[in-house]
Structure 1
Amino acid sequence: MEKDMVAGLIIKNKKVLLVHNTKHNGLRIEPPGGKKKAEEGWRDAVVREVSEELGVEVDPVKFFGAYNTNSPEGKFSVHMYFCDIISGKLSVLEPKKIPSFAWYSYDELEQLSKSKILVPNMRQALSEIRKYL
């Protein structure tokens, strides 16, 4: 069964904010996000997930796209939104799962994509994301 997921694309100074996720035995680099609860809307899920992971409140200003991916953890439908930070300070709130975060340029994303450390939905969206970085 496909899992509904959300991800927030936060862009500043031609760089995108990505978290370093160590939850699944190794490092994955991905946008902040996670599972959508059955009772919540897509935008509400993005707001909740980004807040839980990074301690900031975001406004999901625009739907970016939906990407279907397969991984060892299962099948996912990831709905991505452009988000603006509206309050709070970026912080590591779940250090065992997400020990750090960083801002990445398009060239850096390309390198990460080649190494497969970048999650599949970001690799799929890379050419479209380039327009914004």
Structure 2
Amino acid sequence: MPQMIFVNLPVKDLKKSMAFFGALGFSFNPQFTDDTAACMVISDTILVMLLTHEKFASFSPKPIADTSQSLQVLLTLSRESREAVDAIVAAALVAGGTTTDEPTDYGFMYDHSFLDLDGHAWGVMWMDPSAVQS
């Protein structure tokens, strides 16, 4: 079995968060989705568990961070082109998300970001494959 990553994020309104991420093109695994959690599929090995505050608190010994005051993590997704970066950020804005910056073009890399409905920061980037050395 390949190694997987499960990112757990607390959300205030699970149904609204599912609608937001659904509008960005993500699907949910119904086997791991109920009234307290939704399993959002990023890839075969990367999943995001959207958890109600109560459910998240049952796993964490620390309080949930106040995303209006601090940033605990920046989640970054890669995309296949600059246009795909712009498209997902545009979809996030239409679905109720916000952005705090303009896209940045480094020549070999292009990035932009958005905040979801709960203030979690999502970076989105494209990198020229020829710039990546093996």
Q: TM-score over 0.5 for the alignment?
A: no
Structure 1 or 2: larger strand share?
1
TM-score, scaled to structure 1: 0.25
TM-score, normalization by structure 2: 0.25
State the structure with more CA Rg.
Answer: 2
